[in-house]
């Protein structure tokens, strides 16, 4: 006959075997992740901005260069000059 501590160790061993079997078969499920990297139908807008002196900054967007001025006292932005980027070359 088994002693009380041997019986408890046997129960722990059985419980650990059940947990190991559950984890093994639970992690082997058919989970499929599909990552779509084809964005050929999605057009990314090409916008870039660059800082200039004295609260001025420029924005290049769709082949057009625009120069803006930021007025801190009024907290507003005004367009100062605009031209096509082809004219820069």
pLDDT at 89 over 70: no
pTM score, whole prediction = 0.45
Question: What distance in Å separates the CA atoms of residue 44 and residue 63, rounded to the nearest whole number?
Answer: 14
Q: What is the pLDDT of residues 15-60, one digit of tens each?
A: 999 998 888 777 666 567 777 676 666 666 656 888 888 889 999 8
> Tens digit of pLDDT for each residue in 65-80?
899 999 989 999 999 9
6 pLDDT higher than 80: yes
Do 67 and 56 touch, CB atoms closer than 8 A? yes
């Amino acid at each position: 006959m088994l002693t009380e501590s041997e019986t408890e160790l046997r129960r722990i061993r059985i419980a650990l075997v059940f947990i190991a079997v559950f984890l093994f078969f639970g992690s082997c499920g058919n989970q499929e992740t599909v990552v779509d990297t084809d964005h050929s139908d999605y057009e990314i807008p090409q916008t870039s901005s660059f800082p200039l002196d004295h609260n001025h900054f420029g924005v290049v967007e769709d082949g057009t260069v625009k120069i803006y001025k930021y007025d801190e006292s009024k907290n507003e932005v005004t367009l100062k000059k605009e031209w096509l980027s082809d004219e820069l070359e």
